[in-house]
Amino acid sequence: MVQKNEFWSIWDLQKQNKQPVTIERKKTFNKKISDARQKAKEAFCFHCKEEVASFCNSHSIPSFCLKTIAKEGKLLMTNAFMNVQILDKEKGVKQTGTFQLICKACDNTVFSEYETPINYELKPTQQMLTQIALKNFLQHISRKKQEIALFESLSTEDTRDDPYIYNNLETKQFDLKIYTDKYNKAKQNLLNDHEVYKCLYFQTLPYICPVAFQDNVTICLDLHDKIINNIYTPTHLNDTTSIHISIFPLKTSTAILIFLHRSEFSEYKTFFKTFWKKNLEEQLEILNFIIFAYSENVYMSPLLPAEVLENQELIDIVRPVAPTFFPNKKQIQQDFKIALKETFSFSNMKRIPNLLSEKYKLKNFKEMG
Ligand SMILES: [Zn+2]
C-alpha cells in the first residue's frame, strides 16, 4: 500500500535516468498524465452506474473549508515544499483536490450532510462519517485507476522490464481492489446507517487553522515506534488498516475529526489509548505530523509565512513515501524497519512547525497582511 502520489515517484524514476529536465520532457510527462486520466475514465458513474456524458469535478475535501483559508481564491499544495518542477505549487479552489469518477447528481446528493458546515457544531453523525469514508475511498479509487493507466503506458516503453514498474502495477491493482471493497462497505452503510464507523476524536479549535485536510491514512508506527501496519513488505500485497482524518477550517473555528471502521479498531487501540491521554497541544502535534508524513492531500493557506515553507525538517517529512528508494526486494526486507522508523517515527514530530497550533492561526496572518 503506497500512499503518496505516484506521479512524484515516476518523476523520481525519470530523474534516475539522468536526463536533463527540458520543456520537451515536461510536456511529454504531462501528456502521459493527461492520457492516463483519459484512459482511466469510464462511461458510467462509479456510484450509481448510470451512463454519463460528463463527470462531476468532485472535491476530495469540501470547498467551504478551502475557501476559508484561500488567498485570492488560491491554495498551496504540498508541492510548495517539494518544488517538483512539473507539478503545481498553487491551485485555485475549484481545481484543488478534485477527481472525476461520479455524476453530478450523485455528487450533489450523497455528501450533503458532511458538506454542511453547521453540522460540525455537534458531534458528527454516523451518516456524516459514512459520507466522509465514501468520499475518501472514491478519491483513492480514482487515483489508483489513473496510476494503473499511467504505469501500463510506461510499461510499454523503455521501462518495460523495470521491476519497479512491474511491482508497482501489481501493488496498484491490489490497492484498487482493497479500496473498492472498503467503498462498497461504506456505500452499503449509506442506506443501513448502522454504527459501523467509530468516532475516535472530535475536537473544535476556537481558531482557524491555515490547513485543510481530509484523507484515509494507513498509520505505520504507533507513538512508541511499534509497527501497526508494515507498508514495506517484500510483496507489497498486504492488507492494511487505516483511519479517516478530517481537519476542516470553518468560519471562526476548526473542526477535527478522526474515525475508523469498527473492524479495524483493534490495530489502533494502543495508539489511541496513548493519544487520548495526551494534552491538546501534543494531540495536535501528532496530527500535524501524520498529515504531512502520511498524505499529500494537505491544502494550505498562501498566507503561511515563508519560513514555514522553507523549513527543511518539514520538507524532509513531506517527501513522498515509496519503495522506489529501495533497489531490490531483498534490501526492502532487510531495511524496512529502519525505513519505517526514518519516515514515520513520531520522535520526529517536535522538529516540525505545528501548523495546527494557535501560533499559526489564520487570523494572525490576515491581520499582519
Ligand atoms: Zn451517479
What 3 state SS string does the chain have? CCCCCHHHHHHHHHHHCCCCCCHHHHHHHHHHHHHHHHHHCCCECCCCCCECCCCCCEECCCHHHHHHHCECCEEECCHHHHCCCCCCCEEEHHHCCEECCCCHHHHHHCCCCCCCHHHHHCCCCHHHHHHHHHHHHHHHHHHHHHHHHHHHHHCCCCCCCCHHHHHHHHHHHHHHHHHHHHHHHHHHHHHHCCCCEEEEEEEEECCCCCEEEEEEECCCECCCCCECCCCCCCCCCCCCCCEEEEEEECCCCEEEEEEEEHHHHHHHHHHHHHHHHCCHHHHHHHHHHHHHHHCCCEEECCCCCHHHHCCHHHHHHHCCCCHHHCCCHHHHHHHHHHHHHHHHCHHHHHHCCCCCCHHHCHHHHHHHC
CA of residue 177 to ligand 1 center, whole Å: 20
Q: How many Å apart are CA 26 and CA 332, to the nearest integer? A: 31
pLDDT tens across 256-300, in order? 999 999 999 999 999 999 999 999 999 999 999 999 999 989 999
CA of residue 54 to ligand 1 center, whole Å: 11
Q: Please tell me the predicted confidence (pLDDT) of residue 51.
A: 93
Q: How many Å apart are CA 142 and CA 137, to the nearest integer? A: 9
pLDDT tens across 335-363, in order? 677 777 888 899 999 999 999 999 999 97
pLDDT at 2 over 50: no
Q: How many Å apart are CA 192 and CA 63, to the nearest integer? A: 27
CA of residue 250 to ligand 1 center, whole Å: 28
CA of residue 102 to ligand 1 center, whole Å: 5
135 versus 43: the higher-pLDDT residue is 135
CA of residue 52 to ligand 1 center, whole Å: 8
> Which cell goes with 343?
519516515
Confidence of residue 61 (pLDDT cuts 50, 70, 90): very high
Is residue 331 domain-resident? yes
Q: How many Å apart are CA 275 and CA 255, to the nearest integer? A: 18
238 versus 112: the higher-pLDDT residue is 112
Q: How many Å apart are CA 252 and CA 270, to the nearest integer? A: 33
> Which cell goes with 360?
499559526
CA of residue 100 to ligand 1 center, whole Å: 11
| pTM (predicted TM-score) | 0.88
pLDDT tens across 315-333, in order? 888 875 544 444 445 555 5
CA of residue 189 to ligand 1 center, whole Å: 17
CA of residue 108 to ligand 1 center, whole Å: 10
Average pLDDT, the chain: 85
CA of residue 134 to ligand 1 center, whole Å: 13
Q: Please tell me the predicted confidence (pLDDT) of residue 334.
A: 56
Is residue 1 domain-resident? no
CB 97: neighbour CB atoms within 10 A?
A: 24
Q: Please tell me the predicted confidence (pLDDT) of residue 171.
A: 81
Q: Please tell me the predicted confidence (pLDDT) of residue 4.
A: 54
pLDDT at 230 over 50: yes
Helix 6-16 crosses helix 126-154 at what angle (to 10 degrees)?
20
CA of residue 113 to ligand 1 center, whole Å: 17
CA of residue 255 to ligand 1 center, whole Å: 29
CA of residue 107 to ligand 1 center, whole Å: 7
CA of residue 254 to ligand 1 center, whole Å: 31
pLDDT at 168 over 70: yes
Is residue 346 domain-resident? yes
Say how many domains are in the chain: 1
CA of residue 145 to ligand 1 center, whole Å: 18
Q: State what percent of residues in the chain have pLDDT above 90.
A: 57
Helix 126-154 crosses helix 163-192 at what angle (to 10 degrees)?
160
CA of residue 357 to ligand 1 center, whole Å: 39
Q: Which amino acid is at 113?
A: E
User: Long-range pairs for 28-33 at CB < 8 Å and ≥24 separation?
Assistant: 29/86, 30/86, 32/150, 32/153, 32/154, 33/7, 33/146, 33/150
39 versus 232: the higher-pLDDT residue is 39
318 versus 47: the higher-pLDDT residue is 47
16 versus 21: the higher-pLDDT residue is 21
Confidence of residue 39 (pLDDT cuts 50, 70, 90): confident
Domain of 320, in residue numbers? 6-368
CA of residue 51 to ligand 1 center, whole Å: 8
pLDDT tens across 91-130, in order? 999 888 889 999 999 999 999 999 999 999 999 999 999 9
Q: How many Å apart are CA 209 and CA 10, to the nearest integer? A: 32
CA of residue 112 to ligand 1 center, whole Å: 14
| Unique residue bearing C-alpha cell 512547525 | 353
Confidence of residue 1 (pLDDT cuts 50, 70, 90): very low
